[in-house]
Structure 1
Amino acid sequence: MTSTRFPWAGRNYRVQTAATVISGIGTSGAPIATAFAVLALGGTVTEVGYVTAARIVPMVLLLLLGGALADRLPRHHVMVAANLFSSLSQAVLAVLVLTGEARLWHLLLLSAAGGVGFAFYAPAAEGMIMESVAKEHSARAFAVFRMALNGAQIGGAALGGALVAAVGPGWVLAIDAGTFLGAAALRLLLDLDAPVRETDGGGLLADLREGWREFTGRRWLWVVVLQFSVLMAALGAVESVYGPVVAKERLGGADAWGLALAAFGLGLLAAGPLMVRWQPQRILLVGNYGVFLFALPAVALAAGTSLPVLSAAMFLSGAGITVFGVNWMVALQQEIPPELFSRVAAYDHFGSIGLMPLGTAAAGPVALALGMEGALWTCAALIAVLALLVLAEPQVRRLRRAAPDVVPERETVTSG
């Protein structure tokens, strides 16, 4: 059975989208709760950065293993296991915060556990979405998927900020645990008859080497991932560390930051209908134009703007992420063989977030050295310069959307 409005949306696509929406409601509020849980313990901007980094480090260390497993095992099994693990870790953290027993080392350890869950979940989830739609419908499918997820993020961020302000961060963490559990239950309904992916019997290391050859053989791919390795470190510092601290000191606290994040989610959502209809030919060139908008929240925070101006900057940044993200996913589905997709997605995630622990851990010391404004202006400049530099790569500028019935030959992609 398929949707009459979206006839390309099969059962697996609809189940995966619904499960992602459910978990997205919780996960969009959890970073606010975690940051303010640290601050409630008397932590500083440095401790907030350490806790954020603690979540990212296991992602970096385990993403490649997660990608290799997702290309070998049934992807829905990997996702369910990862969701259940994340639910358990967030439930334990929620209990500790609600009972007043939480200590900084608890937040560090359980944030790291959340990173472990994500490392195994993300490559499998992207592979499942890829399997669930035909290539000719990929742009519409990814745009609708992002609209649904971003709608959940709007509500989740606003609810998270409001609940942190009203009843404290523990209940937001408890909601996150519950949404992970609900998502796992839904993913048990995914089609169990999906085709088994063949492997060459060489083991996980051989699988990873094959994925690495695929990744490095496409210059447009590793250039953009290299760009995002630095860009995401700057964004992580802004969104996970500097934003909550500035909100507490100048904008009114958690509820104000929750509203700013909701505006960010609204921007993500608002760009969705555009990407459903618009199918630019130069997919990475157009996608990278959206990257320039990523710098606006740092500019607004550094300039000491009001909450409405900050929210407008967050809105535009969210729209830019949707423009980039849909075009990026179309490029990946168009160019990467399905049997290698989760491994390539793992290298994508690995490279993109590899420096985020450094960025978030260094956020406090950098703010002490440069001042909060100086640190924010530095992040904004980095993002803008990287968006310019990546356009120097011809493959980024020239990669075109393929016709629906054309699968690009590998040698045409890897040529200069």
Structure 2
Amino acid sequence: MTSPGAQTASLRSRNFALFFTGRAVAKLGDAMLPLALSAGLIQQGHGPGAIGAALASLTVFLAGFVIFGGVFCDRFNTRALMVGSDLVRVCTQGLMAALFLTGHVVLWQVCAIGAVNGICAGLFQPGVASTIPRVASDVQGANGLIRTAESLAMLLGPAAAGALVGSFSPGGVFVAHAATYALSAVCLALLRLPAQAPRAERPTYRADLAEGWREFRARTWMWSVIVIWMVYTVTVSGPLVPLTAAEIIPADGPGVYGLVNSALGGGTALGGLLALRFRPVRQLRAGSLALLGCCLYPAAVGLALPQAAMMAAAAVWGLGGGVWAVMWATSVQTQVPGEILNRIHAYEVAGSLAMMPVGQALAGPAAQLFGGRTVLLAGGFVMIGVSAALLAVPAIRNLRSVTPGTALASSAGGARTAPDHVPDRGA
């Protein structure tokens, strides 16, 4: 078993520092994007339907392409694919900046750029899961630190984006976003990663996809979470950004919307720090309980509570989500063998995001039919059900954590927790 001192040294290593910096900076840019896109489209006379469509364009292509990205990462150089994806997004965000700076914003062009970004994200994301165990032996500690840094970026990003939009233009935010991808690419290129074991020859890409799907289905705890998460994304997470933006920005301005999102980022940072110190034996059970507090944010906006109350509710949402995110990422990265981790991570990402564009696209019609505040209030109640559903599945609530030493041995090629062997898992 790896000693605590070795784990600490790993988290202070040059490799982890570079990866940590790249993820934090890229997240800073990503945190600016929803506000810039929402405010920019609202300035051009669009409503929540257009915002949802613009966000959905990225998510649809990410969810559709990430499975193939997992196969590519297993077959080719993972880091090269990640660096290339970042560099392409430097160009696409530069183009987005030009559209908003010149005032010639056409919705289909914004959606097309989002689609390219989604494909790039689909190539990039599978490599994250397999890179973390290669740069840090303490996987939960690494996830906790990265999540905390990403959350601090979420804290600063919306506030900075609100200031830029208010004093300059949404186009300036996209310039900054392109720069964050450039720095992320540099950090990844400078990593000194240990050599990976030679990959056995595989007959076809289809065989790789089929193997990944079999391994995904064989883990009841994983596919059960994804099924529940699909309900969450279409009913809560998908409509959240378009509807909260449409409710807060016209009434209080982009600055207040930025502050609310910054509070969410601050709460997520606290959740990451808590997960860094809190080492439960049953990680997904702890994460599921933490999600209960997430019901407060959509309810607070739906009730049109004062700014301070919305910020507090957003912080609680972030806290619960931050704890869950670390527990989930650590479970995936330590329970799954390294040789199939990219593909399984790709399947769980695709499943997690599959219904997100549906929720984003339906945000506008649902708001017109029922009212935006009513949809947000319903989302608060659904969030309670999501937490209860996760806890109701024995494979989720009883999954035991893998020790750091076991996870480290597994990342070098050893066996991790075996799949669940249960009859009739369903289609």
TM-score, structure 1 as length reference: 0.94
Q: Name the counterpart of 1:15.
A: 18
* 1:232-252, Cα deviation, whole Å (9 max, x unpaired): 2334434320111111232x2
Q: Name the counterpart of 2:59.
A: 56
Q: Name the counterpart of 1:210.
A: 211
1-structure distance, mates of 2:82, 2:300: 37
5 Å-filtered alignment, 1:228-267, equals 228-250=229-251, 252-267=252-267
SS at match of 2:9: coil
C-alpha contact 2:143 2:329 (8 A) present in aligned 1: yes
Q: Name the counterpart of 1:285.
A: 285
Give the root-mean-square deviation of aligned CA atoms.
1.9
C-alpha contact 1:287 1:328 (8 A) present in aligned 2: yes
2-structure distance, mates of 1:191, 1:392: 43
Q: Name the counterpart of 1:151.
A: 152
Is 1:395 aligned to 2:395, yes or no?
Answer: yes
Q: Name the counterpart of 1:29.
A: 32
Structure 1 portions without partners, runs of 5+:
none
Structure 2 portions without partners, runs of 5+:
408-414
- Return closer, same or farther for 1:345/1:411 CA change in 2, 3 Å cut-off: closer
Shift of 1:221: 0.4
2-structure distance, mates of 1:151, 1:409: 32
SS at match of 1:7: helix
1-structure distance, mates of 2:353, 2:73: 19
Residue identity opposite 1:226 in structure 2: V
1-structure distance, mates of 2:146, 2:74: 22
* 1:54-89, Cα deviation, whole Å (9 max, x unpaired): 111111210101111111222111110110111111
SS at match of 2:326: helix
Is 1:269 aligned to 2:269, yes or no?
Answer: yes
Corresponding residue to 1:46 among 19, 44, 49? 49
Q: Percent identity?
A: 27
SS at match of 1:63: helix
Shift of 1:18: 0.7
1-structure distance, mates of 2:179, 2:120: 15
1-structure distance, mates of 2:54, 2:316: 28
Shift of 1:404: 4.2
- Return closer, same or farther for 1:411/1:19 CA change in 2, 3 Å cut-off: closer
1-structure distance, mates of 2:189, 2:416: 36
Q: Name the counterpart of 1:96.
A: 99
Shift of 1:405: 4.3
2-structure distance, mates of 1:203, 1:294: 43
More moved, 8-17 vs 56-65: 8-17
C-alpha contact 1:232 1:353 (8 A) present in aligned 2: yes
Q: Name the counterpart of 1:360.
A: 360
Shift of 1:108: 1.4
Is 1:106 aligned to 2:115, yes or no?
Answer: no
Is 1:296 aligned to 2:296, yes or no?
Answer: yes
Shift of 1:390: 2.3
SS at match of 1:281: coil
TM-score, structure 2 as length reference: 0.92
C-alpha contact 2:236 2:382 (8 A) present in aligned 1: no
5 Å-filtered alignment, 1:331-342, equals 331-342=331-342
C-alpha contact 2:337 2:416 (8 A) present in aligned 1: no
Q: Name the counterpart of 2:83.
A: 80
Q: Name the counterpart of 1:6.
A: 8
